[in-house]
Amino acid sequence: MDPDAYNGADRGAYRWSQTHQDLDVQVVVPKSVVSSGALEVLIRTDSLLVRHGERDLVSGKLKHAVRDKESFWTLLPGQHVHVQLEKARPRWWTSLLEGEPPADVPAREVPLEELRSEEAMVVEKLRWQDLQKQQQRAAHGDQEHGRVPA
């Protein structure tokens, strides 16, 4: 498996990977691009643009929002632009840009320790409510069959 497309995809002109919190995008540049001044890179909460001269290397609306102020980019001269995007909300993305085919991203559960405390509390509350419902169903099922729960 290509580590540069881990939980993401290789789209030829660029490849992207992700964790639950952020995205890494590598945009291929011509070998002649050795200075960041030769590029225009715009990271917005809802879109990404990487341009060399008049040519858009990547341009489109992002699948979900990112924190543009916490995102950044660097150039590896003659190879690629590395764009680090921080997700506005932790989640698994099925694609980087709207309209592109979904990547083969397996459904994943996120360990509680990776969630912010507010999110972990919500998950725990939902788990507790589900447990209560299961216990009520079991109690009602036992009573309907003439058994009383211990």
68-114 confidence digits (pLDDT tens): 999 999 999 999 999 999 999 988 899 999 999 998 776 555 555 66
Check the CA dihedral 74-76-80-82 and report its sign. negative
- Asked whether residue 120 carries a pLDDT value surpassing 80, the answer given is no
Enter the tokens of residue 49: 């643009």
Please name the amino acid found at residue 83.
V
18-67 confidence digits (pLDDT tens): 988 999 999 999 999 999 999 999 999 999 999 999 999 999 999 999 99
Q: Which residue's entry shows tokens 């993401």?
A: 8
Longest Cα separation, the chain: 81
- Asked whether residue 150 carries a pLDDT value surpassing 60, the answer given is no
Report which of 24, 58, 28 is spatially closest to residue 41, judged by C-alpha positions.
58
Cβ(50)–Cβ(74) below 8 Å:
no
